[in-house]
Amino acid sequence: MEYFQPIEKPLVLLGCAYLSWKMIRHIWGVLKTFEKEPVTVLVTGQIGYALVPMIARGAMLGGDQPVIIHMLDVASESLNAVKMELIDSAFPLLRGVVATTDVSEACQGVNIAIMAGGIPRREGMERKDVMSKNVSIYKSQASALQQHAAPDCKVLVVANPANTNALILREFAPAISEKNITCLTRLDHNRALAQISEKLDIHVSEVKNVIIWGNHSSTQYPDASHATVKIERGEKRVSELFADDDKWLQTDFITTVQQRGAEIIKARKQSSALSAASAICDHIRDWVLGTPKGTWVSMGVYSDGSYGIPPGLMYSFPVTCKNGEWSIVEGLKIDAFSREKMDASARELIEEKVLANSCLY
């Protein structure tokens, strides 16, 4: 027996290595079995250059969610360039890229649609001219989503006038639930958080529960009356921290948030693509994965009459999200100052709706 002892140890080690390899292969196979199915995300418009890398990195849907990105725009050469850059970036979560100028191909099987393409208002253009062009675009894209998107597709409208464009899309995509069509006011929400954090010289993560009411326009109402700030022993209302400067919350705070986009265009000569892309990721992430406990966010959603806002408008409310669905936060006290601002934005949305209908029929 002593003659065989020198080879016993290597054989045992070899056997252990083989068993370990078999076990690793089995575990890997199990993990592959449980890998999430890719989510197909459509991005329209030129904001995609800032947005699609964030999606591919997991900023929108999480670090374990594979994605397929569809991009739609009128400029095929720039789209193909973005596609090449996405491929060259070797994002681990990216499972495929479609770059197309064909709206039907772009909408095929999409689970999430981010509608950022549209005609902006330029110097010399009348409001009705802009509305007429966007009505045509959103009528066409709504029809394509209706026919080709996944049945439970979630839609986020970004292009201005975002609230009314979302309303048009809902009109021509009746198969998509009204609960699955929203518009972006998260950028304004984030701007409001940032303004308070800068004014108080604290980190933005310590501020929560501002509200953007109404239209994504100069009539929007950034409301800090329910916002709170994290302190050492809990939370404190923002209004209490501004007791010595309470006018700021009703003057400069509101106008700064309302006019921030215009200020960036003036300084950059282009719109705020970076912060908009980040806000889009925030909006979809919270919608799909849920809002943190005790926190609400602002989303443009279809009004059900809450807070006295006429039903049938796409209006920004405070919402919480759970299991892929949003719910309007109920029971907040509305003072006279807020009531006036909220109603003014609703009146503008009614005017926009009438104007859009005049372009439709």
Instruction: Return binding residues for NAD(+).
Output: 73, 134, 158-160
Kindly state the tokens that stand for 47.
Answer: 């904001």
231 membership: H or E segment, kind and range? strand 228-231
Contact assessment for residue 173 and residue 165, using Cβ atoms and an 8 Å cutoff: no
User: If you write DSSP's letter for every residue of 318-353 in order, what string do you get?
Assistant: EEEEETTEEEE-------HHHHHHHHHHHHHHHHHH
Binding-site residues sit at 73, 121, 127, 134, 158-160, 191
Write down the catalytic residue from 26, 70, 203, 216: 216
User: If you write DSSP's letter for every residue of 106-126 in order, what string do you get?
Assistant: HHTT-SEEEE-------TT--
- Burial degree of 234 (CB within 10 A; 0-12, 13-18, 19+): exposed
Binding-site residues for substrate sit at 121, 127, 160, 191
Q: How far is CA 134 from CA 5, 164, 305, 309, in A?
A: 84, 10, 26, 25
Position 340: which residue type? E
Say how far residue 36 (Cα) sits from the centre of its chain. Answer: 21
Distance (Å, whole) CA 137 – CA 130? 11
User: Residue 214 has what DSSP assignment?
Assistant: B
Contact assessment for residue 76 and residue 149, using Cβ atoms and an 8 Å cutoff: no
Residue 205: CB atoms within 10 A of its CB come to: 9
Residues 6+ apart with CB under 8 A from 284: 60, 61, 112, 114, 154, 156
157 membership: H or E segment, kind and range? strand 154-157
216 is catalytic: yes
Distance (Å, whole) CA 271 – CA 279? 14
Distance (Å, whole) CA 357 – CA 31? 52
* Residues designated catalytic: 216
